[in-house]
Amino acid sequence: MKAIIVEDEFLAQQELSWMIQQHSQIQIEACFDDGLDVLKYLQQHRVDVIFLDINIPSLDGMLLAQNIHQFAHKPLIVFITAWKEHAVDAFELEAFDYILKPYHESRIITMLSKLEATWQQQHAQTPAAHVSHTVNLHKDERIIVTDVNDIYYVEAHEKLTFVYTRREAYVMSMNISEFCSRLPEQQFFRCHRSYCVNLNKIREIEPWFNNTYLLKLRDLEFQVPVSRSKVKIFRQLMRL
């Protein structure tokens, strides 16, 4: 079971790391003190659990958790924070646990025991997923096996999802969240509640009203919007 710790107080980071190593079989892959660094790390690495503080630089813990919640592979999140007022929001994001500082060692031990039991149960029921670089798209009565690199953007239409390649449009009978979960999260970004874009297809980023953006894509005329709630993460991903 692989984990990362996100905590900007060095002593708290070290104490939590020691407890995890002493009282569990969880392997700590890395420690971070900056939310943006975590997001970049998760674009290239998969972990099973994240121990997450809320008050961290660049990208606060709640915003980071909201972004992670959209990943196809969702790590278990354990908030360890002094901010009790975010507990409701945390559990709406399906957080595994929410521990308030200052915490007791017995509380951490109990959480670690439940965490390992939950992960083992999930792992036993769900074989490791095969990483696929293709998706099945529907056209009339045919199923078109499509390389994900050929997808430019995805658009929500109520309970349907429209998928656009350079020359074709496909209609999928599922919502956009379900379809996007089949795409590699390091390549596709949910830039709007109704749109998901292939970051590799962006040709131009045009400023729009309310400090948002319109994305011009290679080979296509349509422009994909970035919503206000996604602007901060988008700027950081694109290093704007």
Identify the domain boundary among 98, 125, 152.
Answer: 125
What pLDDT, in 10s, does the model give residues 125-174?
A: 544 444 458 999 998 889 999 999 999 999 999 889 999 999 999 999 99
CATH at residue 120? 3.40.50.2300
26 and 119 in a single domain? The answer is: yes
Q: Which structural domain range is residue 172 located in?
A: 134-238
CA 194, 199, 200, 206 dihedral sign is positive
**Bridge partners, 145 (sequence order):** 136
At 162-211, the pLDDT tens digits run: 999 999 999 999 999 999 988 988 899 999 999 999 999 999 999 998 88
If asked whether residues 28 and 104 sit together in one domain, one would say yes
| Whether 149 and 225 share a structural domain | yes
Same domain assignment for residues 22 and 120: yes
d(CA 84, CA 98): 9
One domain for residues 118 and 28:
yes
The secondary structure element, H or E, covering residue 113 is: helix 105-125
> Residue range 10-22: average pLDDT?
94
Shared-domain flag, residues 114 and 176 = no
pLDDT at 126: 44
Residues of the chain with pLDDT > 70: what percent? 96
Q: Model confidence over 74-94: pLDDT tens digits?
A: 899 999 999 888 899 898 888
Task: Judge if 18 and 83 occupy the same domain.
Answer: yes
pLDDT score for 69 = 86
Residue 117 sits in the same domain as residue 178: no
Q: What is the pLDDT of residue 132?
A: 56
113 and 216, same domain (yes or no): no
Confidence of residue 124 (pLDDT cuts 50, 70, 90): low
Instruction: Name the domain boundary from 76, 92, 125.
Output: 125
- Domain count along the chain: 2
Report the mean per-residue pLDDT for the chain.
Answer: 90
User: What CATH number is associated with residue 167?
Assistant: 2.40.50.1020
User: What pTM was computed for the model?
Assistant: 0.55
Q: Are residues 95 and 190 in the same domain?
A: no
- Check residue 133 and give its pLDDT: 85
Q: Give helix 10-23 / helix 105-125 axis angle, nearest 10°.
A: 60
Instruction: Based on the fold, state whether residues 218 and 160 are members of the same structural domain.
Output: yes
Model pLDDT, residue 210? 86
Among the three residues 99, 125, 151, which one is the final residue of a domain in this structure? 125
SS3 154: strand
Residues 188 and 230 reside in one and the same domain: yes
